[in-house]
């Protein structure tokens, strides 16, 4: 049994040189919203869901990005509605959200 049932990492990387990065897409607000929703639903902590910040996840071209473990499902998202769908369907319900999955070919 894993300490957390699921773990989501949000890329919050900021590039000083102006290159494309997740921070340009307000990834911090998305991570904050996700964390608040998980807490609101009573799913935070051991046996539940952990929401974490991450540095560069090297999938910049698809940004903003997040990845959910243990399934290793990569997501891109646009707004709070997308985050809510990831929370409700995947983090809580266990069903990955196909429409928000990042194409495997997308890299930096």
Which residues form the domain of 70?
Answer: 6-100
Q: Is residue 106 part of a domain?
A: no
Q: Establish if 108 belongs to a structural domain.
A: no
**In degrees rounded to 5, what are phi and psi of residue 78?**
-115, -45
User: Is the CB of residue 87 less than 8 Å from the CB of residue 41?
Assistant: yes
Here the CATH number for the domain that contains residue 35 is: 3.40.30.10
- What is the domain count for the chain? 1
pLDDT tens string, the chain, 108 residues long: the values are 689 999 999 999 988 887 788 888 899 999 999 999 999 999 999 999 999 999 999 998 888 999 999 999 999 999 999 999 999 999 999 999 999 999 998 877
Note whether residue 105 is domain-resident.
no
Residue 50 in any domain: the answer is: yes
> Contact, 5 vs 46, CB < 8 A?
no
């Amino acid at each position: 049994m894993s300490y957390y049932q699921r773990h989501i990492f949000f890329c919050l990387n900021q590039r000083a040189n102006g290159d494309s990065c997740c921070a340009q897409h307000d990834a911090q607000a998305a991570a904050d919203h996700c964390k608040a929703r998980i807490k609101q639903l009573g799913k935070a902590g051991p046996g539940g869901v952990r929401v974490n910040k991450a540095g560069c996840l090297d999938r910049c071209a698809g940004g903003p990005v997040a990845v959910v473990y243990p399934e290793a499902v990569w997501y891109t998202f646009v707004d709070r509605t997308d985050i809510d769908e990831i929370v409700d369907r995947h983090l809580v319900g266990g069903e990955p959200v196909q429409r928000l999955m990042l194409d495997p070919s997308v890299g930096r």
